[in-house]
Each structure stands twice: as structure tokens, then as C-alpha cells.
A and B are shown apart, each in its own frame.
Chain A
Amino acid sequence: MATPIVNIQNLVYSRPQGFTDTPTHYCPGCTHGTAHRLVAEVLEEMHVLDKTIGVAPVGCAVFAYNYIDVDFVEAAHGRAPAMATGIKRVLPDRVVFSYQGDGDLASIGMAETVHAAARGENITIIFINNAIYGMTGGQMAPTTLPGMKTTSSPNGRDVETQGYPVRMAEMLATLDGGGYIVRRSLHDPKNIRLAKKAIRTAFETQVHGLGFSMVELLSTCSTGWGVTPVQSLSWLEEHMIPAFPLGDYKITPSVAALKI
């Protein structure tokens, strides 16, 4: 780390050890940076940075490895849970996580996601749900809300022809392999703190061998949504939370008993 420009006793906020000093490539107002930071903070607090392997997705977070300072592999679109499975089965004592968006996880990678959960694969998925394909320019995602305008649903998602959004946390919670499956949001400080706590619990679930864990994080995409960064936070709160209720969808008794 560079020479601190504030006295250490006054330092309340700094770059976590698990974070590189790469300038962000994310758009203004995007909450990927927040989610990245939470993951880095949790891995640092658990002292597992040197035994963690991340699996990056295809999508905006394709370069997650530029920020989170651990060993990383870069998966094909949607295949991150399969790739994480391959790593975890060979290196069962390492911490293995994938970080995926909604197109990656809930559309092209639906099978890999569902079956990793069904197998009770001891991996952690950080799932960023912003209801849109960000990287490719704002197309309709499997989580796009009914009536929501995207570049491939220009008149608003018509459920008659384009179907309904997929609620992943609820769906995966029905599977016996899940140990910890929750949904949180990144739209304000209180929820960010709750999200961090959930990410910690998810990784603890893995470290204790208690099965598949996923934290779904409702996130913003001001560019894709066509609103300002500030507006995107209230848009998330007003529109996404009613469609994707926050909550704990699956916490097995052994996970609930964890002392963190």
C-alpha cells in the first residue's frame, strides 16, 4: 500500500486488501463496484484470500478479476457454476465462488446453476440481478420486469410474447442441495451492510461444507435503464424490490447455527 495520507488512527475507510488498485471500468452509478468490494472485504475478514479461486462470468463483470485480488478463472457464458464445480472437486479445501449476472446465471447458464444447487455443490454464487443485459447494450434479461423497456423489448416487456421474469432465489430454495440462499439489495447503506453480512454467511456456509450458497443482489444499471445514477437507486427500490422481494429463502438449520 502507498504511504497513508491520513493518520492511521483517523482511518475509517480504505481499499481492502483483497482489492487491486485498478481504476473501475463500470459505469457511474453501477453497483458492481459495491458488490466487488463486499466480496473482497469478506474474503479478507475470513483470512481466505490466499486460498480463494474466483470464477468470472461473461457480462459486465467479465473483468471481476481485475479488481478482486485472488486467483481467478474466466468462464464461458453461463458455465461458471460448472467451472467452479470442476475446481472445487479437485481442490475441496479451497474457497471457490462464481460471480454472475442475470443473463449469465438465469438465462444461458440456468442448467448449470440449477444443477450446481441440486448437487449441493460446495460453492458460493454471487448473483447480480439488475434486470438487464448490461455488457451487450441493454437487452431484455430473464429478470426484466413486465412492461420494462429494453433495447430488445422497446415497447416494454410484453408478458404475452416475452414471458415473465425468473425469480432465482425462490426457485433454487426448493432444492435440497441449497444451504444458504438469500436475496439482498445494494441500493442504500443499510441494505449494503445486510448484503455484506449475507455474503459472509454464504462463504461461511461453504467453508463449513454446508452445501450450495447463493446471494442474489438486486443491483442498478443506470446506463441500461436510461436513468441517472441517483434515480437508479430509487428505481431499484420502487420497482425491483416488489418484483424480487428481499429475504432469506433457504437457511438450513446447520447454517443458522453457524457462529459468525
Chain B
Amino acid sequence: MGRELWKGNEAIAEAAVRAGLEAYFGYPITPQNEVLEYLSHRMPELGRAFVQAESEPAAINMVYGAACTGARVMTSSSSPGISLMQEGLSYIAGTEVPMVLVNVMRGGPGLGNIAPSQGDYNQICKGGGHGDYHPVVLAPASVQEAVDLMPVAFEIAHKYLNICTILIDGSIGQMMEPVLLPEMQPVVRKVYDWAVSGAKDRKRHVLSSIYLDVPTEEKVNLRILGRWRQAQENEIRFKEYFLEDAEYIVIGFGTAGRIALSAVRAARAKGIKVGLFRPISVNPFPYKQVEHICQRAKSLLVVEMNTGQMLKDVQASVKNRIPIRFYGRLGGVMPFPDEFVEEIQEMIHNPGKPEDDSADLWYLRMMAR
């Protein structure tokens, strides 16, 4: 089968189906509605479970129940809805059951708007729900990459008994692009030694996130951390562009990373030796790789559609070795490649000092506009 023109949200939904999605539970919220709408006909026609829940808390708890059976399960939502799901996500992490979450981010905080944003990086990567847990978060920059990451997300979720989030924004969700969809995989329900199914010819299974015995809870936390450490070891994903001879490097994830690629190409056309590093796994973050590339760059430009949330992770890698410039657009404003090109040129003319507070300097520039 050749490439077809698909809307991001629908392509993601179909890719999940082809990756063996057995049950989907969701609630309408823009700009992710097409995931829910597409699956509302696609899942029943394949005899698979679909429920439009009464709320995001209900949807995530339906996912929680279905995840306890060991099935491949998923929900999708957008920023305010994801906030409502945080309780359930924490329980799912604490019970150590697998699920895939698609977050089509929009402008915020609060009700915000329905335009593309990356303002939920911290919420998604650094936990969101209560307790010590670390979801795996993959941030594709195109519809094709999102499609390709869907089966990966299920494999990661089931390998590490964890939440795996596909983190995109409204632009990738709403955009139509040519995509090559993967072949349909058969649904294979693995027999897990922890899943509930009725205690037939075996000891019963009890799945819970409650451990009133405090030392036991500590052990569970360490077990969760142990799997996370394995994920940190195995699940680092990123893409590099024009880095071979790059003196300056732009770092951005998802849509900002994609816009940055256009900017980098335009800057190259002007003769600037600039490259792009685009983290795909934003949690675990490619700390070592960023540390490695900054050893040969004169300075870095971090671009995001937020106030510099990933910037903190880049700073943790760079450790004041070279100057970092930051540029962000907020609240659903999409940056143009030209803005990034200007920032690249500014970075070269005024490299600043490694110890500069790049978020602070960016804020002052924004306010002086």
C-alpha cells in the first residue's frame, strides 16, 4: 500500500488499531476529537471495545480497568482533559499496568484555547499526578512519525508496565499529511502473571496501588524506579540534522523542532553552519546526547512553544559549558521559521555567556517588543 493523505488524529487512531489496540475510552475535547470519532466506528467494526465516557476521569478509569486485564488500551485527550486524568494516571503508574496516552496539547493554562502549544511538557514529563513515577513520553514532529511511534508506544507500555504518552499538539493532530500506514497486526492478548481475568486454574490476582505497609510501598517505588531506569537506558530517541560540521545547534521537540528544521535549512542557505537536534523521547530526555553535542558547538538555541520547560533539561545537560539562547512562543502562537532564523543570527552576533539566564533574557526581549 502506498502513501495516503491522512489527518493526524485519524492516522494516529488507525495506527493504534493496526498496533493491536483492543479497547479505547475517551471524551470529546478539541483538538483531539477525531481520534475519538474515528475509533467510534473503527473499533466496533472490528469487534473491539469503544466507550465514549461521561468525563475524562471516567475515561481514564475505564482505561485503568481494561489495562488490568493486560489488553492493549488507550485514551486520548488534550490539555484540560489530561489534567482531569492525572488522578487515574497516578493510579495506573502505582498499579504498574500498561497504557498508551495520546495528548494533543493546546494553549493554556485553564481553558486556554484550541491552538497548538507545548505548554504541558512539564506536566506530562515530570509526572502530573501524585507520587514518584515517570511516564515514557514520545514527541513526534509529523503525522508519519506519530504513526510510526504508535506500535512502539504499546511495546514500551507493556515492556515497562508503564504509561507511554504520545505528545503532540493541535497542529500535528489537525494537519493532513501523506502517510504510509503500517500493516495490520493481529490482536494478541498476552497471558500475564499479574493480569485479572478470573482466577481459573491459578491463584487469584489482586491489582492495587495501595500499600499501607510503608516499607512495602518503598519497595514498590524502587521497583517502579528500576523499570524507569531500564527505560532510560533503552528508550532514548532523537534525530539529528546537519550536525556533522555544525558550529551552532538548535534544539526543539515536536512542532517547534519541525519548524526549526525549516529555519536551519534557511540559515544553511545563508552559509551559517547550524544544525538541529530534535529529542523524540522527551522523557527519558537524551541528556547524554545533548551533553555530547554541546562539546563541539559554540552555542545552542532552544526553541519551544512554552516558557522554556524543556530548556531546564537542556541546561541540566549543558551545565554552563556553552551559552544557551532561548526562544519561545506561548499560548497557542505558532512561531514562523523566519523568527528562528533571526534568533540563530542573533545568537551568532551576541553569543552571551554560559552562565546567562536564557529564560530571563528571552522574557525581557519579549516584553521589549
CA distance A177 to B57 in the complex (A): 21
Query: Out of B22, B58, B59, B196, which one reaches A87, CB within 8 Å?
Result: B196
Asked whether A65 and B199 contact (CB < 8 A) given A76-B91, A86-B64, A89-B62, the answer is: no
A76-110, CB < 8 A from B: 76, 79, 82-91, 94-95
Contact call A50/B199, Cβ cutoff below 8 A: yes
B53 to chain A: closest residue by CB: A82
Against B, the Cβ 8 Å flags (1 = close, 0 = not) of A57-80 are 000001001000111111110010
Q: How far apart sit A69 and B205, CA to CA, in the bound complex (Å)?
A: 10
Residue of chain B at shortest CB distance from A80: B61
CA distance A188 to B61 in the complex (A): 36
Contacting pair B204 A70 (CB below 8 A): yes
Question: Is B204 within 8 A of A86, CB to CB?
Answer: no
Complex-state Cα separation, A85 to B232, whole angstroms: 34
Query: Contact at B207–A85, with CB atoms within 8 Å?
Result: no
Which residue of A has the minimal Cβ distance to B91? A76
Which of these, A73, A91, A114, contacts B207 with CB under 8 Å?
A73
Q: How far is the CB of B175 from chain A (nearest CB, A)?
A: 31
A111 CA / B73 CA spacing, docked (Å): 22
Cβ–Cβ < 8 Å partners of B58 in chain A = 79, 82, 85, 111-112, 115
Q: Is the Cβ of B206 less than 8 Å from the Cβ of A73? A: yes
**CB proximity of B315 to chain A, nearest CB, Å:** 36
- Count chain B CB atoms within 10 A of each CB in A82, A87, A88, A95 and give the residue with the most: A82
Those of A151-185 within 8 Å (CB) of chain B: none
Q: Are A89 and B68 interface neighbours, CB within 8 A?
A: no
Residues of A within 8 A of B197 (CB): 53, 71, 91, 94
Contact present for A76 and B87 (CB under 8 Å): yes
B-chain residues with CB within 8 Å of residue A240 when the two chains form the complex: none
B102 at interface, CB cutoff 8 A? no
- The answer to the question of A125 belonging to the interface, with a C-beta cut-off of 8 Å to chain B, is no
- Asked if B110 lies at the interface with its beta carbon under 8 angstroms from chain A, I say no
Q: Chain A: interface residue count, which band?
A: 35 or more
Q: Is A15 an interface residue (CB 8 A)?
A: no
Q: Does A239 contact B (CB under 8 A)?
A: no
Residues of chain B within 8 A of A72, CB atoms compared: 196, 204-208
Residues of A within 8 A of B209 (CB): 74
Chain A window 107-127, contacts with chain B (Cβ cutoff 8 Å), 1 for yes, 0 for no: 000011011000100000000
In the assembled complex, the Cα of A36 lies from the Cα of B23 at a distance in Å of: 31
Contact A90-B23, Cβ < 8 Å, known A71-B205, A82-B58, A82-B61:
yes
Q: Inside 8 A of B62's CB, which chain A residues have their CB?
A: 82-83, 85-86, 89
In this assembly, does A49 line the interface, its C-beta being within 8 Å of a C-beta of chain B?
A: yes
A86, B72: Cα distance in complex, Å: 12
Contact residues in A for B23 (Cβ distance below 8 Å): 86, 89-90
CA gap between A84 and B51 in the complex, in Å: 13
Which B146-161 residues sit within 8 Å CB-CB of chain A?
A: none
Which chain A residues border B326 with CB–CB below 8 Å? Answer: none
Asked whether A193 is an interface residue with its Cβ less than 8 Å from the other chain, the reply is no
The verdict on A52 contacting chain B, using a C-beta distance below 8 Å, is yes
- On whether A50 and B57 interact (CB within 8 A), knowing A55-B65, A85-B62, the answer reads no
Across-interface contacts of A75 in B (CB, < 8 A)? 61, 64-65
Q: Is the CB of A76 within 8 A of B88?
A: yes
Q: Smallest Cβ distance from A211 to chain B, in angstroms?
A: 15
- State the CA gap A112–B344 with chains docked (Å): 52
Cα-based distance from A227 to B355 in the complex (angstroms): 68
- From B55, B69, B87, B198, A51 is in contact (CB under 8 Å) with B198
Bound complex: CA of A112 vs CA of B58, how far in Å?
A: 6
Chain B residue with the shortest CB-CB distance to A118:
B54
Q: Which of A65, A89, A91, A111 contacts B54 (CB 8 A)?
A: A111
- For window 22-38 of A, CB contacts with B under 8 Å fall at none
Give the shortest distance, in Å, between A103 (CB) and chain B (any CB): 16
Q: How far is the CA of A65 from the CA of B199 in the complex (A)?
A: 13
Closest chain B CB from A88 CB (angstroms): 8
- Kindly state whether residue B349 has any CB partner on chain A within 8 Å: no
- List the B side residues contacting A94 at CB < 8 Å: 197-198
Is B334 interfacial (CB-CB < 8 Å)? Answer: no
- CB atoms of B196 and A82 under 8 A apart: no
5 further A-B contacts with Cβ under 8 Å, apart from A76-B64, A85-B51, are: A72-B206, A74-B95, A82-B58, A86-B63, A115-B53
CB within 8 Å of B: which residues of A? 49-53, 55-56, 62, 65, 69-76, 79, 82-91, 94-95, 111-112, 114-115, 119
- A-B contacts, 14 of them at CB < 8 A, read A65-B206, A69-B199, A74-B206, A75-B65, A79-B64, A86-B23, A86-B68, A87-B66, A87-B68, A87-B196, A90-B23, A90-B73, A91-B197, A95-B198
